[in-house]
Amino acid sequence: MNLLILCTGNSCRSQIAEGWFRHYAPAGTQVYSAGVETHGVNPKAIETMKEAGIDISKHTSNHVDEYRDVPFDFVITVCDNAKERCPYFPTNAQKFHYNFPDPAKGTGTEEEINNAFREVREMIRVYAEEFVQNHIQ
């Protein structure tokens, strides 16, 4: 079972989603994340996942073209921009989409920005847990 989470820059939402899907998916599920661009893994994404007990500090920001030859079962876009720019995959993968807010665009105090990351982390956690229950197990 191969699952790809796709976002714009593979720095926040898709990285957080990869962490949660790796946590919830059964053994043998290969979870990948990529972007239609690469921006590096956002340090706040790493920090907010660490608060939840998930280590994504070793994740890398990957371009979707790196996975052209992987036979995906599921492709999940986590932002509208990635959905619109998602390249054609010669695959029978089921495609899903959920437009999560981009916590990296948060403004305000440090605490307000951290809270924006936490809110998105929890939205993605619930989505990943329910997705695994409904589609993978």
Q: Supply the residues annotated as catalytic.
A: 7, 79, 86
Q: CA-to-CA distance for 35 and 15, rounded, in angstroms?
A: 10
Residue 36: is it exposed, middle or buried by C-beta count within 10 angstroms (0-12/13-18/19+)? buried
109: left (phi over 0), alpha (psi -120 to 50) or beta: beta
> DSSP 3-state assignment of 133?
helix
| Residue 14 Cα distances to 28, 87, 90, 105, 109, angstroms | 20, 16, 22, 15, 24
Sheet with 94-97, side-by-side order of all strands? 30-35, 2-7, 74-77, 94-97
Question: What letter does residue 25 receive in the DSSP assignment?
Answer: S
